[in-house]
Each structure stands twice: as C-alpha cells, then as structure tokens.
Structure 1
Amino acid sequence: MSNFAIPVKPEIPKEIMDKWQKIVDLMAKIVGVPAGLIMKVDPPQIEVFISSKTEKNPYHKGEKANLNTGLYCETVMQKRESLLVPDATKDPNWDNNPDIPLGMIYYLGFPLEWPNGEIFGTICVLDYKDNPKAIAFNDLIKEFKTIVETDLDNLLKNYELEHEKERLKESERKYSLLFNRMLSGFALHEIILDKNGIPCDFRFLDINPQFEAIIGIKRKEIIGKTVLGVFPKTEKYWIETYGKVALEGIPARFSQYSLEFNKYFDVSAFSPEKGKFATLFLDITGQKKLEERLKESSLIINTSNIMLFTWKNEKNWPVEFVSENVLNIMGYAPEDFVSGKVYYSNCIHPDDLSRVFQEVKKFSEEKDRTEFIHEPYRIITKEGNVLVVSDWTFIIRNSEGIITHYKGIIQDITEKKKTEDALKQSEKKYRELVENANSIIAKYDKKGTIISMNEYGLKFFGYTEDEIIGKNFIGTITPKIESTGRHLDDFLLEVFSNIEKYPQNINENIKKNGERVWVLWTNRPIKDENDNLIGLFSVGTDVTDRKKAEDTVKGLNETLSILNKILRHDILNDLTVVMSACDMIQVDDQRLKQKATKAIMKSVSLIEQMRSLENALVSEEVLAGKSLGSIVESVVNNYPHIKFSIKGDCTVLCDGAIYSAIDNIVRNAVVHGKTDRIDISIHEKDGRCELRIADYGKGIPLDIKDKIFEEGESFGDTRGSGLGLYIVKKVMERYGGEISVEDNKPSGAMFVLKLKKA
C-alpha cells in the first residue's frame, strides 16, 4: 500500500501545463542538466507529468513507474523535504533505484504539495554525473516549486469557486457554510448609477470572513456602505468593469492591481440578478512578486558580462541561441548570430583561432568528456575592439553519442586580465629588484624593529636572518654614536617621526664584525588603510668609498682654497707694490718699463682668473633660482661704452659664478673681438633657458673654434691666459648646462648658454 492517498482533484488545464513546461525547460537550461521534471503521484504509481525538452533527457511525458521501488522521488514525498544525491553509485541505499540504469546518478528534488498539504508530486533535476554547480541554483528551483504550488493553490481555489456558484444556487444552508469557510474573498454588491444611467459607485450587501481577512476591514464597517465612501481611492476601472457585469449579466475574470490596497487580485465577477454582482477574488500579490523576481533573474543575466551561446557542431560554429546582452558586449544583435549573418568563429582573434579549434577538437575526441574550459582567448567586437574572454563549454551529444551542439558560458575578463597582467609584471619586477639588487633592502616597524632584509643586506652586515630579524636597528646595524660624534639614536628617531622630511639620509652604520661603513638610505613610509604610519621601507647603498673620497677632495679643496687665498692676497699685494715701484722708476728705455708693466698686469689678471676657476670647480654655494635678465643687466653696466640690446628673461638654477661667466664672454667680445655692439636674448626652449650673446667683432678663427673652450686656448691681438672660456665651460658643467659657439652674421661670434630652469 502507498502512503500517498490523494482525493479527487481538478484536472490541470492546458495553459498551466504549458506554463510548467516553460518552467522545467528554463530550469534545466539554467542549471545545466539533461533532465528537469515535474512528477505527479497517483497511487500505486508515479507519473512523469512534465519533462524538459532537453538533449539526452531519458524521461518522457506520461511515463509511469510503480511506487515502493526505491525511486528518488519516493524519498522526497515520504520525508516531505528536499533531497540531494550527488552520486548514487557511491551510496548503496540507491542500488535498486530504477533511475540508475538510465544513468541518472545525480538528483536534486523538492516536494510539491496541494494547498491542504497533500502531496501532488515533486519538482526535480537529474544528471548523468555529479553536478556541483547545480546546488548553486537551489533557491531558484525552490522559487519554481513555489510557482507550481501557487498554481495548484489557485487552481484549487478556482475549482472551488466554480463549485461555490453551483452550491449557492442549491441551498441557503450550503451557501452559508461555504460562504463563511471559503478560501477566496466573496462579496455581494449592487451597482449605483448616475442620472445618465452610468455606473458611478457600488454598495456592499454582504461579505464573507475571507473578504475581511484579505481587505483588512470588519463586516460591520462596510455593509450598506458604498465603495467610494469606504475606499475613496478606488480606481474608476473597478466600477466600470463591475457595472458592465451587473447590467449586462456577462461574467468577467481578470487580474488587476489595486492602488487602494497596494495588492494584485485575481477576480471572478458574475451577476446573480440584474443590478447586482458578486465577486470572488484571491490575493495574488505573492505570485506576482515571484514572477517579477523571475524577470529580474533574466535581467541580471542580460546585464552581466557573461554571454550564453549555443553553437551547432558545424563549420564555423553557427549560433542557434545567444543571450541578449551580446549586443552590449560584442555590439552584435542576437539576430546577427542566429540568422547566420555573423559566425562566432569569425569573431575570434585570428592569432587565437587555431588554438581554440585545436582545444575543441582535442576535448571533443574524449568520449566521456561533457565539458571543458578554454584557455582565455581574444574576440573582436563589431566596433573592432579586442576583448579577452573565458569560455566554459558543454558538449551536447545525441542518443548515439554524436556531438550535435556546444553550449558556452562566455565571460568578458578583459579588465581582470589587464589587472592580473599588471600585477604579475609588478610582482616580477619587485622580485627581480629585491633578489638581484646590489643594495640593502630592509623593512622596519615604526619603533625601528627590523621586519625583513634582503640577502644582499644580510651578507653586507654579516648577519643571518635569525640573528637580525626582530632586533632594533640601533645597536645592531647602526651605532648609537657616529665616529663624527653625532648621536644617531636621536637623529634616526627623528627620521622615523618625519619621514616626509627625510626621504634620504646618510649615516654611519656598523657591521657585525665591528667595521664602520657609510650608507646612503632612501626611505619610504609604510602606511595602513587609514594612512597611519606603521613602518619604514629603506633601500641602502654603501657609499663608504665615496665618503672617503669626498673627505679627501674636501681636504684638497680646503688646501687649494688656502693656497689660492695666499696667491691672491700676498702675491697680489706684492705685485701691486711692484707696479707702484715701476711707475716711480725713471728709465730711458720706456719699452722695457711697459714690458714689465704688461707682465705684472698679466699676472694680476691670471690671479683673478684663478679665483674664478676656484668658484667654478669647488664652490660650496647652493644653487638657487635667479633672474637671468637681472644678472645680464648687472654685467653690462660694467661696459658703458658698448651698445647692448637685451631681450627676454628666465629664472635659472645658478650661484654667484654665473656673473663672472657672462662677464668673461662679454669682456672677450670687447677686448679680443673689438666689438662695439652686443645683442643678448633670453628665452625658454625645450624645457631649458637659452642665453644667446652675439657680438659684431672679429669673430673666432676657424682653426681654433673647436678648441676654444679648452684650457690654454686664446685668440686676438691681446691674447690672454686661455683660461677664461675654460672657466665658463666648467661653471656651465657644474650647473648641468651647456655652452657652444656659432658664427654671427654678418660678422662676430655668438655664444649659446643652455641652463636648467628653476
């Protein structure tokens, strides 16, 4: 005997069966299984009531099987709860299940019940294999279950409504009993007409308890009153529709939204006598919401970056189905593919097409293969843009095992691929930098504890990782007091506290063996998501040899400066005395006196140039932004007898040596070039400041033009030491600039100085 005693229930009408057919077809398609079913129990058998129209579905509508034979659905109906069987072949409880010989080893099903709780049957999906992704659609299948049970509920209620009409006519007693216990809301009304005989309102004559429950109003508050008197927001549509039923006697069945109650109602209206009408109605708001949710699910798919394709197993893979969002992603309308106007293979990037074909061929030749995932490949949109996609393809075979179709889930992963490639490249560069760097790379927390150090740094300081990680850098790799006497503990704590102020610092460090070294540290802060400092990232370069060389050069510069000062002070004073003595000496040979005076003047000039050379080579003055126009104006004031033309201005990085450099060029033009006119222009060019000094004198001989900036080169009738332009060149090099010379037209020379903008 079966446990499923079912009373006589109404036949399922064709429109509902058609609706359920669409549901199981959609369910099988979305879940990706060969079989989606609605089973109906009719003891002692169970029937395949609705079967999905999908490939490889072994179940056919109308097929019946005996109960108590170990079917999956029997367990679902007995326990009245869902059942998931991932692989029945691994569970001996299903050894006698008649579904296993059909190959259906995977099962996910839910019970279907009539409104009164009696079992109708099941809704389920089955597969030839374990289908892990199907469980992700558990809630969707439950929604389909709710829709079917709602239809059963409505069907039963409608069935009862029809019988209620007959019973009302049979007897007042039966009418009263049914009236008070029916599941639908019921009301009897009389229509109210205006002076022109047009329905304008209606009055409540009677209502049942379910009416009170659905509408939320008590009987005593409504009987004898008009609808507009009780519910003033009632739409005109209701009065017009009911007026037609009451006056013409034609029954009406419709579903309509009520603004007054913010609900959807399924309504049946009929006229027991002219001028009156009765209504039977159900609150179908829940069902409407479920339908809307189904629409939203479709909308989600069609607004995502995932396209669904069904291809025929033919040349160029003609498309049989494609989701609507292909228009948004690829620019083609679905009809372009389905009509054969566009083939999917023509959209695959030419450089990837052969590989994609080979992957399809390889996996298709595996007889047991039902799905595969391509390596990402590129497709070309209608607009010519290149997208990177992932492709999860399902193989569809007919009953003879021949592949008829492929179904694909194509996802646009272009941005994801770009991000992944950029991240991989960044990680690669970072690894190469850390692993191959000939620099110390270390991380510290905000207290100075060493968090990590690269291999080069460990070898440099002579520690193993275990010896140094977790130790404070002061006292391990940094002495508390530098050999210069500077207290490094205070200084480096200041660096940690004001990292933006100290992007770089040089300090003395100490190796494990006690050797003192100098390291140039480049520092970057490490911050948390709230922009709080949590540590320090430092890259260190050993500059010990450079520091020693700098100290040596500094000492030599100081010595050179002292010698130069002696030269300029003592010898220059002596030459001044000699010059004065020459003026007072009376000699007959004035040429000899002039020769001696000229030699003294040359020595004085040479000493002055030595000072300029010192400024050019070893100046400790900090470069700063200065107006080049103002500097030029200051220089030309020393030559009142020369005609100058000055145009433009620019702020450049320089120090005091720029004055003597420009003066040197101007003095050469006047003294050696014999010019009486000089044009000076200043302008920006290629991101730098360009100063052009053009004279109209003798110019520079062709044979020395290429050597004019070399030490000792001179020209003109009054040849100098040859140091002037050499000093100018050295000044420009110290500024990071350039100097060159050109011929001026029609005569003379043009010196071009290029300096960095401030």
Structure 2
Amino acid sequence: MDNICTRILASAWRGVWAVDWENRFIFFNKGMEDTSGLRSEDLIGKDLMLLLPDQKIMDEVHFRELFHKAKETLTQVHYSLLPIITTQGELKEQSGQLLPLLDEKGAYSGMIGTVEHTSTKKISAALGEHTLAENKLDAIYRNSPVVAFLWKPLTGWPVVFVSENISRFGYHAEEFTSGKLLYSDIVCPEDLSGLNSDVADFEQHGQIYFTKEYRIVTRSGKIRWVTERSMLARDEKGEPSYYQGIIIDITHLKEIDNALKESEKKYRLIFENSPLGIFNFDKDGTITYCNEKIIEILGIPKEKIIGFNMNSSLKDEEMKAAFREVLSLRMGHFEGKYVSQGNGKKVFIKVDYSPNISDDGTLLGGVGIVEDIGERKIAEDKLRKYADELSKANKELESLDRMKNELLSNVSHELKTPLTSIKGYGDLLMEGDLGEMNYKQLKALKTIIRNTERLRRLIDSLLYVSMAEAETITYEFRKIDINDLIDNAVTDMAMPIAEKNIEVLHQVQEDLTQIEGDAEKLTDMLTNVLDNAIKFTPSGGKISIFAKKGGENIQISIQDNGIGIAADLLPFLFQKFYQIDPSMRRKYGGTGLGLFICKKIVDAHKGKIWVESEQRKGTTVHILLPTLQGDI
C-alpha cells in the first residue's frame, strides 16, 4: 500500500487490517491493536484463519462465511456488532466492512477489514442472549449490498475512498478518488438541494450520525433510491473533518412500498365507492371502520356505527347468530328484515361476515358486507304473484284443453256414425245391390264415396291427435306381415290412385321377416304417406313402394315423382299442423296432421321415419321398423 492510503486507512476507521490473497496479514493499524490487544509485529505474515481461535470470536462461523462471501463475490460485505473476546478477557462488540482487493485484471488479491464502531463490555451470563439478539437484528441487514464511502465535508463532497461495489451503479471507484466525479454528481438533481440543506443542518447541530433517503442517478441514467447512513468525524476544534458511511440500494423496497400504497389507494377507492355497505370489526366484534354506503342503507350516523359491538349489542338474534360464526373462524350469512336500533328504520338486507385470520390461526377481526335487497324483495314478490297467476291461468288452460279434447273426441265419434252409414249405402249402390245405375250416377257416387273416405281419414286424424294429447291411445301388438300392410294401404287409396291414373310399383323383398305391431295403426300410417304421395304427384305420375330387410330392421320406402320439398323445410315436416305453404292447402287440401301422426305411430313401434326430397324431382319417405326378436 502506498503511504497516502495507509495514512487514510490508519485514521479513517477505529481499526483497519489487511491480508493478501493467501490470507496473510500485511497491515494491522493501531486501532486494531487497541481493539484486539494484539500487536502488529506479532501478526504480519500470519494466516488470519489460523488466528481466529486465539481471538475468541464468538461468531466464528459467521465471520468465516462473511469473509468467504466477500472473497467469492468480490463485493463489500458489512458486519454489525461482531463480538470478540480479547486477550485481556474483555468483550468487544464491533461493526465494520470486509472490502475485497482486486489486481489489475480484476482478480482477488486480498482483503481489507475495517472496524467502524466498537464498545467494551464485561463478560456476563447474559452475554450469549444479548449477542444472539443483536445478531438476529442484524441478520436482515448484514448481507445487504452496500457501498462504503469516505468523503470530505466540502462543496460537492469530494470522495477519499469508495468501495469497489460502486460498480453496481455503473461507476468505478477511481473516478471518485481521482476527483473526476464528486459524490454530488450522482445525486438526483431534484434531491440535491434538499440533501445539501439537511447535511448543513446536521453539521450545524453537532450531531454524529446522519441518515437520509434520496435518489441517485446510475451511469446508464436510471434512478435508484438509496438510504445513507454516515458518521461525521470532527477535528479537535469540533469542525466537520470527514464523513464515513455507507449507502444501501433500497429501490426494490421503495417499489414495494409504492405498490402497497397504490394497492391501498385502489382498495380505499373500491371501499368508499362500493355499491355495498362495508365495515371492519376487531376480534371482539367492535366496528372499527365503515364506508358511506352502509350509512345510507341503515340510515344511522357514522359515529353511532363506529364503536358498535355486534357481539354484545345486536338485538336481532338471527343476525347475531350469523356474526358469531366469525368467532368460530367461519363465514356467517344473514338475510331478512332488519330493524335499525338507531332509528327504527326497517330494511331488507343481506349481510355476509368473513373472518380475518392470522398465520397462526387466531382471529384478528373480520369484515362485513351489507346489501340492500329491498328492491329485490319487491321484485321477488311481484314475480311470485305473477307465477301464481300464470299457474292459475295454466290450470284454466289445461281444463279448457281437456274440454276441447273431450269435445273433439265426442264430435269425432258422432261424425263417424253417419259416415259409416253413408259409406255402407254407397258401397251397396256401387255393387248394384239396390238396382242398376247409369254412368253419370256411378260417377257421382264415386265422388261421394271418395269424399266420404277422405272425411273419415280426417276425423280419424283429429281423433288420434285428441287421444294422443289425452294419452289414451292404446296399441294392440301382434305378428304381422309387411306385404299385408302395404296391400291394405294401396287398397284403401285405390280410388284416388285410379282417378289420377298413377302407376304404383311394388319392389318388396321376398320372405320378409314379420314384425310385431298394431296392424290398423301401421296401415293408417302407410295410408297417410301414400295419400301425401298421391296428392303431390301429377296425373299419370309414378309411385314406387320398396320394402327390404336391413340388419334387425325392415325398411319401407315410398317414392314419388311429384313437386318435391325444399331441403331447408324438411326438419319441420313432422310438426303438428305444419304445411309447407298456405297456398298448397288451397290447391291440394290437407290439415298438416298426416306426417305428425305417422311419426307418433312409428315412434310407438320404436322405429324411425325420415324424408328425402328434391324440388321438381320428387320425395321419398323412409320408415324403419324393428323385426321380431329371434327371427332369422
């Protein structure tokens, strides 16, 4: 070391020592001699680590860890209140710095140790406890990244010494010690005036320790918050001589603090502007704070709410029971009419209580959220009344519907009676049993019989729908042949087929398996499908009937070459009273019940029915009916 540095180090701290890269002492000033009771000439050249047991450092492991940390990281390490028992048996509590020395290539070349402050105590039984407490207090701080300074109390604060870890802010130590930079050069301009003023006041009042938070500017222009902790040394006249201290980067702590303040600000904003009443209470149930909304809801002045004890003063037993759930560390809920104890105001409210529980599981207090549900209650009452009225109206409609079904059923039966007679006498006339008829008479009679049959199918459809809605339809299942069903349906429709000169082709697979079903209703189903096919097929057209077995089903398909149906209308064909176009009702007739009834009958037989069609090319209706179980 050169003489200037040696003199500075010898006088700047109460004690200074230095070792080379092999941990051998190369410097040990008088302050260290006074602190440890050891002599410089006895130590120079000796290994520091071998000396530790003789020094009786009570926290030897801690000191070794700090030393190796500074050596490995090449950063300054601070220690605080490190207890040492000297050779004279005294306890010396000291604090200082471990400053790594670097060579020209930036490699470790040794260590400087400083003692900034010492105090001497007698060794007592309480020493261990005291030392442990001090070390715990220092644990948060001792490993913090700090930068050590020694500067003069002159304009701009010229720097005599600065630790190498000033590089954390982008600067080099020699920039300060050479005079290229003053300490004031890195202080944020906005804070410099205030810092100057505080330092001047500090010096004027004769104080020793100086603490201040301010901002500095890094080499890259970023702003960092630091806290300065300095000791002012004065000369024999009491005038400021130099500042010895450290700065600690607290930017992260500031950011956390600012985030907490911002979070608290947002919380306050939400708290005060919430549409719900919110209040806090302590572990005894006393309300400590509330927002304005709860005052509006309850109509009670704030001064009567703050300090109110819910555990002892609540009169409403249900609300008190809900609150006491919090005392058992559970959430509580109350909903109902509340009569204010302050002014007798009646209000429907909902209150939710939540406990605030500490990390060790004890109750710290809680929060209550109050909502005015008066308008909701009014709406609920209106809705309940409306629902009751709808229920009553629905019952009346059900009654009317039953009456309609009964009327329809009775009328249908009454209409079928004279139709049976008309049909019977018509058949007798056609067969000539009542005498011969001329051509015109026979043609008129055929029209009567055709329309009588049409009217019969219409009445049967209405009767079926009425019975379906009343759920009174019964089915008589028995073994039947598909050929018989098809033949019966074609026979029923023989007259309109002949009148329109439609060719009916049969393509039925031989030896079809029997099915189990209601022959009469399945015939009605096929008759309805054929009726539609005949209705929409032009005179001289063609209808093909296919029947084949597929797996465990028999598929019947009835295909015509009529007007066809648009693809987007196919999903609606099986709805009750649905017709593609009202104009078709006028041209072709019909009620819109045929395919609806067909689907009901097929569903009852656990089958499927669907339609494929193309406009101006024709329509195919497919019916799938299950075969008898066990048949081959």
Q: The TM-score by the shorter chain falls in which range?
A: 0.3 to 0.5
* TM value normalised by structure 1: 0.35
* TM value normalised by structure 2: 0.41
Larger Rg: 2
